[in-house]
Amino acid sequence: MLTDENQVLFLKVLDEIIPAGGVRRMPSAGVKAVAESVLSATAYSPDAPGTVERLLEAVSTRSPGFSELSSDDRVTVLKAVEMEQPRDFAELVRLTYMAYYSRPEIRPLLGVGEHPVHPHGYVVEHESETLMDELTAPVRARGAAYRQA
């Protein structure tokens, strides 16, 4: 379990891993649901809580006032921590992406349904005949790339 102080710190770290904004006005990853998903992802990473705790300790040691820093300064601190602990940092990024992009409120912002992919999958529009002809023209023009049996 994270202390209250580390929970706030963790949300700030997640805010920088996936910041808010962009063309689709995506929210940042720094929300409680993403943090909880990362910490409970032991099926994907048996030491997920330990990974988070080690990284938060490194962030706190390097920058005791991390939460009050500007975004640019927080990114600088996180890059330094990434260089010091590349495996843990890569694992945190992977778990953050998994937790963030699996959130039902995020998927519609990416143009896919809120429901999970399985068992029904997403509705995908078919390409037009013209587009398919254009995309496959080089392959058809090349001719067979195999010999007849």
Identify whether 39 is part of a domain: yes
Closest CA to 3 of 71, 57, 47: 57
Domain count, the chain: 1
Identify whether 97 is part of a domain: yes
The residue segments making up the domain with residue 46 are 4-112
Identify whether 147 is part of a domain: no
Identify whether 148 is part of a domain: no
What would the pLDDT profile of 74-126 be if each residue is shown by its tens digit? Answer: 999 999 999 999 999 999 999 999 999 888 888 888 877 776 666 666 666 78
The answer for residues whose C-beta is within 8 angstroms of residue 42's C-beta and 6 or more apart is 48, 49
Identify whether 131 is part of a domain: no
Closest CA to 104 of 113, 114, 95: 114
Residue listed under structure tokens 């099926």: 43
